[in-house]
Chains A and B, each alone.
Chain A
Amino acid sequence: MPATPEYTIGCVSLFDAVAAATHVSLTNVDFPTNAEVSDDGSGSLYAQQMCITGFSPVAAMNSKAISQILAFIGLNGQCVGAGLDVSQIDVVQRQMENCDSALGVTPHLRDRVTKGLLRIGTIGVAGREDATISFILDTLADGSNGPVARNPGVAMPTPVVSERYGKGACKLAGVQFPKLDGWDLEFNVQMDEKLPDDASIWPATAGVLTVRPVLVVKHRDLSKVTDALLAVGAEEAAHADTVLQLVKRKNAGAFEDFGDSVHGRITLNGLLLPDNLVSVAAQQKATGTLRLPCSFDGSNAPVLLNFTSPYDPTP
């Protein structure tokens, strides 16, 4: 019986405007086709026709290599295609070697997308875990080919870049919040409806309609939410006084030098609200939740993402 090839997660390759590729490690991939089929809608016992009416693959991916992903996707999303700053994306699955047969030279599987739209989903970190970023690739047809081209005979790209970041000190509306439980920054990048060209099942184009980032912070020092804040219900937060930090971990060490410009610094503008004053059960530590919906300050985008920053223990 011939061996059945089996695959595991590989990497994503992002090609810039001059087709130079960066290969980034992933922790999760989900690539549904969103195929839509419908029958003829008749009153017959059995459907007499079954047609495919839509085919719109969307790749949802997660990675710990946050700076690598953010190098290619900005807050407002990033179009992928010829003549653009990101020209192509490959999602590669690695074939596993098994006891039936040794791997050949090009055993891996590649899904290539030459037109699409990249969006950031969420950046989040909790406790001592590594921070992660989720991002989405909406695939589009380029006018003649389908949105995804699959090739089951490719070599594994090298080198695949791996990065890890841990939770750093942060400041919200001018107040330092040490030892947070964690935070999630949901970018909420909404797209317009993807529609196909006439006589096609593939979406032809897409664009970003709105970007409404929201930060949710879980903290333990309940006293940080003061009576003064509760009296007004919300506090203005600006880029100058609202900072999240991610500390880059060092391979074969703990952290990169704090003075090196390799750490993550995210500043936000918006309105800081106490979302949950206290949440606690017996034999547990109490936590509170803060929410910060972000807005435009008239000059800068609501969230500024900088992963070439030194780390500041007292931001």
Chain B
Amino acid sequence: MKPLSLITVDARALHVLAAHGKAPVVLRGMDESERAQLAALCDDSGKLVAAAGEKYRLAMIAHYERLKTTDEEFDEPSPVVPEWSAADGPDLKRDGDK
């Protein structure tokens, strides 16, 4: 097997994400320490370290907790709130809603 070119922290972290079935987009929401934590889970050859699965799980839990907190800290409306108005077309209300 040819050695993986896992030189940078991000490249290592991406490899760890792929090994756990996750997409690179996860890295975009991570801060430096979270990326470094993931990168530490594989060695230079791309092999995952011992107990990488459990360490990965804990790192991801911490990441999503931080994302949640960051979201709550902003007072301004989140950009993901749907722009729902009459102009958007039929308003499919739930049963019983008027």
Chain A interfacial positions (CB closer than 8 Å to B): 14-20, 55, 70-76, 78, 81-88, 112, 114, 142, 145-146, 149-153, 199-202, 211, 239-241, 261, 299-301, 304-306, 308, 310, 312
User: Quick check: A202 and B94 within 8 Å, CB to CB?
Assistant: yes
Known: A17-B29, A74-B22, A306-B18. A55 touches B95 (CB 8 A): no
User: A82 touching B80 by the CB < 8 A rule?
Assistant: yes
A-B contact pairs, 28 of them (CB 8 A): A16-B25, A17-B28, A19-B80, A55-B92, A70-B24, A71-B25, A73-B23, A74-B17, A74-B18, A74-B20, A74-B21, A75-B18, A75-B22, A78-B23, A84-B67, A85-B28, A146-B91, A149-B82, A150-B88, A200-B94, A211-B21, A240-B1, A299-B19, A300-B19, A301-B18, A301-B21, A305-B18, A312-B2
B48 at the binding interface (Cβ < 8 Å): yes
Is the contact region of chain A dominated by helix, strand, or loop, or is it mixed?
loop
Q: A18-B28, A75-B18, A85-B25 are in contact. List 20 more A-B contacts (CB 8 A).
A: A16-B29, A19-B80, A70-B24, A75-B22, A76-B20, A76-B22, A78-B23, A83-B71, A88-B79, A88-B80, A114-B81, A150-B89, A199-B95, A201-B94, A239-B1, A299-B48, A305-B18, A306-B15, A306-B18, A308-B11
Note all chain A residues with C-beta closer than 8 A to B82: 112, 114, 142, 145, 149
Q: Mark B60-98, 1 if CB is under 8 A from A, else 0.
A: 000010011001000000111111100111011011100
Please indicate the chain A residues that have their CB under 8 angstroms from the CB of B48 in the complex: 299-300
Q: How far is the CA of A112 from the CA of B80 in the complex (A)?
A: 10
A14 nearest CB neighbor, chain B only:
B25
Residue pair B89, A152 in contact (C-beta under 8 Å): yes
- In the complex, which residue of chain A has the Cβ closest to the Cβ of B27? A85
Q: Interface size on B (CB < 8 Å)?
A: 40
Is B52 part of the binding interface, using a Cβ–Cβ cutoff of 8 Å? Answer: yes
Cα distance, A234 to B96, chains bound together (Å): 58
Question: How many Å lie between the Cα of A73 and that of B23 in the bound state?
Answer: 5
Q: Contacts of B28 on A, CB cut-off 8 Å?
A: 16-18, 20, 85
Contact of A199 among B21, B22, B96 (CB under 8 A): B96
Chain B neighbourhood of A84, CB < 8 A: 64, 67
Contact between chains at B94 and A151 (CB < 8 Å): no
Q: Does B5 contact A (CB under 8 A)?
A: yes
Min CB distance A302 to B, Å, is 9
A17 to B29, CA, bound (A): 5
- Complex Cα gap A199–B19 (Å): 40
Q: Which of B32-58 contact A (CB under 8 A)?
A: 47-48, 52
Given contacts A74-B23, A152-B89, A306-B18, whether A85 and B52 have CB atoms under 8 Å apart is no
The answer to whether A82 touches B71 (Cβ under 8 A) is: yes
Report A86 CB to chain B, min CB distance, Å. Answer: 6
